[in-house]
Chains A and B, each alone.
Chain A
């Protein structure tokens, strides 16, 4: 047996009676099944194809513990979205109403913490949470230990204009924060959810966050994961979406923080005419490691998917990108395109990129492309030939490379914040002042 696994299982069992929804038999059952499944599967290792390049050794070496209550955070003004938002704040895995501001939500919409939802409207969650098995070991770990999260349920046709901003703050060294969210978007409804992760400690901690999303017919949903964890953090994130006919998903994953981060993003086209756009940007340095594992299941006819991931890697950092595209035999008229481009700023930086296309249907369009290289010499020369100095020319190109992804973000305040964060990470970025 694996002692780390036993430890996490024991923690889950010990907490079970105190975790949200523990008064409900089906929730207890859900967690128990998750523990059993985790016990069977074990934590993934390099021997698992999907975990070939990313190690969870830190989770085995260090005993991360859930906190019984949130650490102290006095205000979140610094992280508010300037354009306004419905804000939920989770500190160390616990919803903090005093820091949250849900504002005014349209009728027939429910937005609250996962714990409150289990206490107040459990029947809305039961069908989705209670059904089936957790798909993998980390999902099971998440289910076994989730202390809170977010619940969103939008009725048919409900349009939430402002983004729903979920701020996850980690305050304590050695802490383990586990959050489970469920987002149900009704037919023709539309919303944007920004999940932003920040570390308020420079020490190691562990975040495991998972969002399950259901899009009804013609729903439109934009999801942003802004991973800005502390420099020693371990971050495991997951987004799993199930799409009904004609629905649209936009997923934007931005990774700038954490020592080790993994983002699992998967969508399933359960009905015809679905669309998905998966965009991502990782900007890494030092010894950072970021792994993005994406899966698009074209399980129905006429689905369209577009995927664009860019990486900028400096120092000894390492990026991993996997783009799985599965096209089922009857998914005719599928149109899938994928691209992953990486710029390496140092000799020691490294990227592993792998498209994985499994196509079982005829009459489909599938393309993919991946590049790993240095800043383009021709572009650099062009800028320099106009009198632009080498350092500024490089920064303009790096900024432009990142912007190709960032400009796809619909929420202006988020886009601008990320652009600013990106600029601050560029070497000698003062030279961009007055130009951008």
Chain B
């Protein structure tokens, strides 16, 4: 079966510092992959590179999305093709109300898919229904994007956007951090409702707990800018118990290097 997204030997740097050092990952349609790994190992860097943030320089390798060169696309084109990143730290945008963002995003996507724009009524009906599904108060529509939202509210807002945009490939970057137990279930339910045989997800987390709710097909460990171990969902349990110390985190020094 061919991959939805295929990452080959990807290297990337931020401000001249190499963070991703040859990363390989293939995700098939409908699969959920989890990535775990120590702080600073490059998980968010990978997310941002896939979403197209410009201050992350791709220095080598390639990413194919549905067989096409993803890295050649602008961030908005990637989103329209079906990539969605739920940010680890969603940015606050004072003055821009949530409803403007949602409308602009939904319309851009519909236009791209050759669908007519939704009229104001249909749009509101749709948004309110989706808000209900993630138990968000409709008053959040008229608040500025993420401004003054609690940590959990920000994460829920990300899931709301994902639910509206129905991406083909969603990256959830620590969407579970900052969520209380109830909110975690709401978010996980939202994610699970979106699961289907075509839609794939990359779930980045530090906690095995999330994976009880969103059960992954594969678990990978990202360390030092590379995937150093992959396994089934049991790997998460093992990591929870043993930490990362037992894994090989750096490439071995080349033979013959002077001691």
A430 CB to nearest chain B CB (Å): 13
Of the candidate stretches A81-89, A190-198, A259-267, A379-387, the one touching chain B is A379-387
Nearest residue in A to B120 (C-beta to C-beta)?
A434
Residue interface bits A385-422, CB-to-B below 8 A is 1, else 0: 11111101100110111111001000000000000000
- CB pair A399–B165 under 8 Å, yes or no, is no
- CB pair B79–A384 under 8 Å, yes or no, is yes
- Cα A384 to Cα B104 in complex, Å, equals 10
Question: Is the C-beta of A377 less than 8 angstroms from some C-beta in chain B?
Answer: yes
- Cα A386 to Cα B82 in complex, Å, equals 10
Question: Is the C-beta of A378 less than 8 angstroms from some C-beta in chain B?
Answer: yes
| Most B CB within 10 A of own CB, among A393, A397, A435 | A435
Given A377-B55, A381-B54, A435-B103, are A388 and B108 also a contact pair (CB < 8 Å)? yes
- Cα A14 to Cα B186 in complex, Å, equals 79
- CB pair B80–A404 under 8 Å, yes or no, is no
Set of chain A residues within 8 Å of B101, measured between Cβ atoms: 383, 386, 388, 396
Nearest residue in A to B106 (C-beta to C-beta)?
A387
B102 CB to nearest chain A CB (Å): 8
**Residues 112-154 of A contacting B (Cβ, < 8 Å):** none
- CB pair B75–A399 under 8 Å, yes or no, is no
A187 CB to nearest chain B CB (Å): 36
- Cα A282 to Cα B104 in complex, Å, equals 26
- Cα A377 to Cα B53 in complex, Å, equals 9
Given A396-B100, A434-B117, are A382 and B105 also a contact pair (CB < 8 Å)? no
Given A385-B52, A400-B96, are A378 and B91 also a contact pair (CB < 8 Å)? yes
- CB pair A382–B104 under 8 Å, yes or no, is no
- Cα A399 to Cα B95 in complex, Å, equals 7
Given A400-B144, A436-B100, are A390 and B76 also a contact pair (CB < 8 Å)? yes
Question: Is the C-beta of B237 less than 8 angstroms from some C-beta in chain A?
Answer: no
Given A385-B52, A388-B101, A388-B108, are A379 and B76 also a contact pair (CB < 8 Å)? no
- Cα A385 to Cα B47 in complex, Å, equals 11
**Residues 87-137 of B contacting A (Cβ, < 8 Å):** 87, 90-91, 93-97, 100-101, 103-105, 107-109, 112, 117
- CB pair A386–B91 under 8 Å, yes or no, is no
Interface residues on A, range: 20 to 34
Set of chain A residues within 8 Å of B165, measured between Cβ atoms: 386-387
Question: Is the C-beta of B161 less than 8 angstroms from some C-beta in chain A?
Answer: yes
Nearest residue in A to B89 (C-beta to C-beta)?
A378
Nearest residue in B to A395 (C-beta to C-beta)?
B104
- CB pair A403–B104 under 8 Å, yes or no, is no
**Residues 62-98 of B contacting A (Cβ, < 8 Å):** 74-76, 78-80, 84-85, 87, 90-91, 93-97
- Cα A401 to Cα B96 in complex, Å, equals 8
Interface residues on B, range: 35 or more
Within the complex, which residue of B54, B84, B96, B107 is in contact with A396, where a contact is CB–CB below 8 Å?
Answer: B96
A300 CB to nearest chain B CB (Å): 33
Set of chain A residues within 8 Å of B94, measured between Cβ atoms: 400-401, 404
Question: Is the C-beta of B51 less than 8 angstroms from some C-beta in chain A?
Answer: yes
- CB pair A387–B76 under 8 Å, yes or no, is yes
- CB pair B55–A384 under 8 Å, yes or no, is no
- CB pair A382–B108 under 8 Å, yes or no, is no
- Cα A350 to Cα B51 in complex, Å, equals 34
| Most B CB within 10 A of own CB, among A377, A387, A393, A403 | A387
A252 CB to nearest chain B CB (Å): 16
- Cα A384 to Cα B73 in complex, Å, equals 12
Set of chain A residues within 8 Å of B96, measured between Cβ atoms: 379, 383, 396-397, 399-400, 403
B203 CB to nearest chain A CB (Å): 18
B95 CB to nearest chain A CB (Å): 3
Within the complex, which residue of A376, A381, A401 is in contact with B53, where a contact is CB–CB below 8 Å?
Answer: A381
Given A385-B79, A387-B109, A390-B76, are A401 and B161 also a contact pair (CB < 8 Å)? no
B114 CB to nearest chain A CB (Å): 14
Of the A-B pairs whose beta carbons lie under 8 Å apart in the complex, a sample of 10, sorted by A's number, is: A382-B87, A384-B79, A386-B108, A388-B105, A434-B107, A435-B100, A435-B103, A435-B104, A435-B107, A436-B100
- A-B residue pairs, 10 tightest by C-beta: A400-B95, A400-B96, A387-B79, A386-B105, A384-B75, A387-B108, A404-B95, A403-B95, A384-B76, A388-B104
Given contacts A387-B80, A388-B104, A403-B96, 5 further A-B contacts (CB under 8 A): A382-B87, A383-B93, A385-B84, A400-B93, A400-B95
